[in-house]
Structure formats: C-alpha cells, structure tokens
Chain A
Amino acid sequence: MIAIALKDLKIILGDRKALLLSFLLPIFLVGLFAFVYGSMGGPREEHPVKLLITDQDQTDLSAGIVARLDSLKSIRLTSMTLEEARQKVTRGDYPAVLVLHKGLADSISANRPGVLEMQYDPARELEMGLLQQAILLPLFELIGRPALQEMIFEEVQGDYPRLDPGLMKQIKNNIEKNFRSGKVSQVLENRNPIIMTPLIPVERASWALIQAVAGTAVMMLLFSVAGLGAGLLAERETGTLKRLLITPLHPMHILYGKLLSTLVVSVLQLVVVFIFAWLVFGLDLSLNPPALLLVAFTTAFACASFGIFLAAVSTSRKQVEMLSTLIILIMSAIGGSMIPLPIMPAIMQKLAAVSVNYWSIQGFFDIFWRELPLWEILPRIAILFGIGVLLITLARVFFKRNLASLV
C-alpha cells in the first residue's frame, strides 16, 4: 500500500508540467477571486456608486437637490437628459437614473406624492440598496423639510385660529429659522433608532479573502483529486491494474494506496494555497493552528475520498472526466465555492449542506472570520471526516464489484 502510494507520488512529482499547473492554478484563482469578491463590496469596502440624474423641473428646489446629491461622497452624480440616461441604464453603464419630474417644487409645497422617480436596472439591486441608503437622508432634508415646516405651521394655525396675524407671522418665521439652522437634520440624525455596530472587528481578515481562499481551494482540490483518481482507470487501461491484481497484494490495498497518494498531494496543495494567502494577502494562519490543521486535513481527506470514489464507480477515464466535472461544478455552485453562500437564496443555503465545499468553507470561516474555538468547529470537522469515510466505504463496494470486469 505504501509502495503504491510512493510509486504514484514519484509519477506525479515527475510530471513537472502537471504539477506546476495543479499548484499554480489554485494560487492564481485565489488571487483572482480575492480581487473579484473584494471589489464586489464586502462589508468593509467603500466605493462611490454611480448615479444619473435628470432635472426636468428646473426650479431652485430641484437645482438644490442636484447640488446636494453631488456633494455626497458616496455617490458619483452625472447629469443628462432622461432619454440618454435611460439608454445608459438599459445598456448597463449605470445602475439607475433619478428623475426630478416637472412640477416637483409645486407638488412638494402642495404635499402631493410621486414627484421623484428612480428608474433602475433590477439586475443591480445590490448597488440600489447602497444608493437608497446614501440619498435618503439628504433628500428628506431638502424635500421633507419644507413639507414638515408647512405641516407644523398649519397645525398651529388650526389649533389657535384666533391668533394675532402679527404673532402668527412671527411664529412662521421662527419655524423657518429653526429648520434652516440645520437643527432638524441634526435631530433626525441623532434620533436614528438603529445603531450600527460591526460584531466582527474590522481589522480581521477580509471576508473576500477568506471566501476566495476557502472557496477556490476546495473546488480546485476536487478537480485535482478527480484527476488523480482517474489514475486508477489509467492503470486499468495500461494493464498495470491487472498486474497489480496478480501480485500477492490485497486488492483493497490498491485502493488505499491510491487514497494515500491523493491525500498527500491534496494536503500539499492546501498548504501551498494557504501559505500563498499568508504571504501575499496577510491571512493570519496563527489564529487557531489546531483547528486549521484539522479542517485542512479533513477537507483533503474528504476530497481525496471523493476522487477515489469517482474512480471506483467509473469504468473508463472518459466516464470519470464527465462524471467528476458534473458533480464538482454542481457541488461548487451550491456549496459556496463559486457564489458566496450569504447572497444565495435560503433554499440553496440549505441544499449546500450536501456538498463537501460547504462544510469546508464554513470551517474556514469559523476559523478566520468568526474566530470560534476548536470545540465549536469540531462538528464540521467530524462531518468532513464522515463524508470521507462514507465515500471510501462506497468506493470499496464499487471497486470490489468492478474487479471482475477489470480483466
């Protein structure tokens, strides 16, 4: 069994080109995904959102709104006609256009709705959320304030209809003065009922980096073990498997030997990826070394078993290739390797639990993001280990059954 593993490793290590590929490709992908997820706006990233604006009202008020929004740091405002703007949004150049319709100033003083319209691209809801958050308060200040002013004044007038007109005028001036001084916006801001407190300290590893490292590493691992597992089928095609069966070696040891060599390569691959993440992106590997070792090892074990399982159920290399590509793509898609889990629909997040990717990625998030202690991560480690054992057991059954047709 050890002899088989050593022989495999010698063959694998002898193939420089394939080796380079299986170690460089994951590194390249981790870098790429870290960049992509990073610019997608993980929790910490701040990028101005682009917004178009069309002023059809052309009043002092509308000009004020444009000027106010333009002064916001979180928004990069561009003014143009509605026609042009709509084209740009449909073409995907901008997420939305804010339309200040004709009669905006009038309808605001008359307290009528439907004067501000956001025309947007529904595919870009993420940016829309950020946009709304950014423009709500400034807009309220500009549009809501006069309306509020008016409302208060009318209230006073209604309550004290016989008040001296001179006094009334003074009250009105007072209200306007108070509002203008910025007190209201201050009050509004202070009264914001929601206090935002980030629970994960901001200085921790970036969410994007962990997602990139964990997600990509597992997916690449699955692809490379499927390739290694296919080595079993290659042995069948060259006849060396037949010859192995003639030796006094127990047939199952052929399977275990393959598992061992695949496991060693998988562990090496993970080590390389994590060292890369540490050196280049500063991922802190010293957070929880025992947990990291265990999660990495059980991930490698589950993946290696998956490769052996594929090889044992298939009867030709073509079959392995097709089957593995299909299963890996599905597992990676639902398991969170390609699409970060938090932005997937709830039902998909439940489904994700059937994939190796899910448990492994969650394990890495437990370590680097949630910073859980080892005993809280143990269940995930146990599940990864269990997946490995299950796959090996199934592989044994299929291998035994296929033995007869190997010659």
Chain B
Amino acid sequence: MIKIRNLSKQFGDVNALKKMNLSVQPGEFFGLLGPNGAGKTTTVNILSTLLKPDEGSVTINGLDLLSDPRGAKRLLGVVPQELALYDQLSAADNLHFWAELYGMKGVKLKTRIRQLLELMGLADRQNDRLATFSGGMKRRVNLAVALLHDPDILFLDEPTVGIDVQSRHRIYEILGELHREGKTIVYTTHYLEEVERLCEKIAIIDHGEIKAEGTLESLRQLVQGESEVLVVLDDSSIQTATVEPLPADVRLMDEGLLATGDDVNDLVQKLVTICSARNWKIRDIELKTASLETVFLQLTGKELRD
C-alpha cells in the first residue's frame, strides 16, 4: 500500500507538486493521467527515491520512504520515461548487468533473464546489440529490467511513448499478466485509452494537483447523461476565435467550439448564436455522449493528444 501525504516539490519558481494526497491499494492497477508538465514524472521520481520532496511524506508498505530509502528500493521496480539502457550491449548483457546490481547471480540470475526475455518475446534477439532494436523492442527491455528482482510494486512512467501498435499491445498484455499476479502498479500516461483499458483506479493530475480520483465508473459518472456538442469552424474563424473572449462553459478546441451539458438543444443553440454574432463560418456540428475525455477536458482544460 502506497500512501502519499501533502507532497510538495518546487523547482525554482515552478510548483511541480502542490500538497498532493494519494493512496494506492495493494494489487491495484493505478493510473496517473495528466497532460505534459502535470507532475507525473516528479511524482514517480519521488516515489522511486530519486528526488527528495520539499514537504510531505510517503510510505510504501508501511516503510517510510524518506527515512529508509534503501529498504524501499528493494520493493520497487521502476520503468523510467527514458530508455535507460546501454545501446552498445546486447539485451541479455543489459539484463545481466542490472540483475547483478540487485545482487542476483548464478543460476537464479540466468533463469530469471531467460524467463523475462521469453515474456517480452525477445528470446531470439537476446544477443543482438540494443542499437539494432526498434523503439518498441527497447521499451520491452526497459520494462524487463524493472522486473528483474521481481518487485511487488511497479512504477511505470509513460512506458509506451512513441512505439508501434504491436509492441504497445504486447506491453499491455504483460502488464495485465503482472496485475493478475497481484502486483501493485502505478502507471502514468497521457493516453486516455490506456487508463480506460488497463486501470482500475485513476487520478487526474494537472499543475501538480490531483483534480479527481476514483474508479473509471465513478469518474464517468461525473458526466453521466451529459452530451458534448462540437461546432466545427473554418480555419480563419478559428484564428479570430483564439483572441476573442468566450463564455466560461464554451471551450475553443483545435477544430471549433465545444460545449457540454444535459440538453443538446440548448447547447446547439448557444453555440450557433455565438458563431452568428461573430460571423464565424460553421462547417459541421458533431454530437457525442460525454466520456472520460470530457471529464479530463473539464478538469484540465486540455485536450488529450499525442
């Protein structure tokens, strides 16, 4: 069980985390969803003992992270956002090196490495240098390194950024497997599909604050029965719209204006009135049921994109 209390971290005059509170239950697949610069990596860095917070406390399985970082380290497996691997070494050599640092050796080390290479679907390429691997294959090695010492708790920081669909699905499968084994997983991402597909519990983070927290269902309920109306505008209208003030419940998106609410008639009328008054050209009108994306948009004011 991970307990985060009043966690704050400042870099110069950037408040990366503002008195964050969070708890993750044992065996839970927890998604930390947030746009760029939200504070995801900062959170993971503190949880993996790399950064000291300015304020607050973290306990992992009852162990105080700040007073006993070395004890906590053995419980944790971390998949960093970067590919923290040695390109000049083979996949097997990479795993061998990291395993030694966790004090593994002999048959146990060899068996574990073979297991993981098979799990990752990389057994046939294990002796090739990583420099010859695709991004997706490297991501899988990156994940394997974190699993070497079979930790109970896994932190994954955007582990699927910039990879092919096939590798991505392979990683989803592996994570699902690990979840079934009972591991606690904290997964940061800015892909909505990922949390919808993988996570039981989700926290939406922005500007170092948790904006909402709960199961997928409870978050969806925030917009239960609501609809989204998007009026698509032509390019020049969007240009002028960027400098015009808009009502608080109307949002400017890449393609046009968006409003969310219970009554679709009202929403359409409101948006059309705005556009007519300003002479903006409407190209299309789209209607959608509100989703998690709507929640995210309402909470962060940001669209989820790659």
Contact = CB atoms under 8 A, between A and B. Distances in A.
A11 B84 contact: no
B119 interface: no
B103 interface: yes
Contacts of A11: 86, 88-89
Interface string B82-102: 111111110001000110111
A248 B50 contact: no
Contact of B73 (A7, A10, A247, A404): A247
Contacts of B21: none
A295 B287 CA distance: 81
A245 B84 contact: no
B84 A243 contact: yes
A3 interface: yes
A15 B87 CA distance: 12
Contact of B101 (A3, A10, A404): A3
Contact of B88 (A15, A243, A406): A15
Given A247-B101, A248-B70, A248-B73, A10 B89 contact: yes
Contact of B145 (A7, A243, A245): A243
Contacts of B49: 246
B270 interface: no
Contacts of B74: 248
Contacts of A345: none
Contacts of A406: 50
A165 interface: no
Contacts of A3: 97, 100-101
Contacts, number: 65
B231 to A, nearest CB: 44
B78 A246 contact: yes
A128 interface: no
Contacts of A48: none
Interface size class of A (residues with CB under 8 A): 20 to 34
A193 interface: no
B102 A247 contact: yes
Interface in A236-251: 238-240, 242-249
B87 to A, nearest CB: 8
A247 B83 contact: no
A75 B67 CA distance: 82
A166 interface: no
B86 A246 contact: no
A317 to B, nearest CB: 15
A156 interface: no
Nearest to B88: A11
Given A7-B97, A14-B89, A242 B50 contact: yes
Contacts of A4: 101
A246 B49 CA distance: 7
Interface of A: 3-4, 7, 10-11, 14-15, 238-240, 242-249, 404, 406-407
The 10 closest A-B pairs by CB, nearest first: A239-B82, A239-B84, A243-B84, A3-B100, A247-B101, A407-B50, A240-B84, A7-B97, A11-B88, A248-B73
Given A245-B50, A247-B102, 17 more contacts: A3-B97, A4-B101, A7-B86, A10-B89, A11-B86, A239-B83, A239-B84, A240-B86, A242-B50, A242-B84, A243-B80, A244-B101, A246-B76, A246-B78, A248-B74, A248-B103, A404-B52
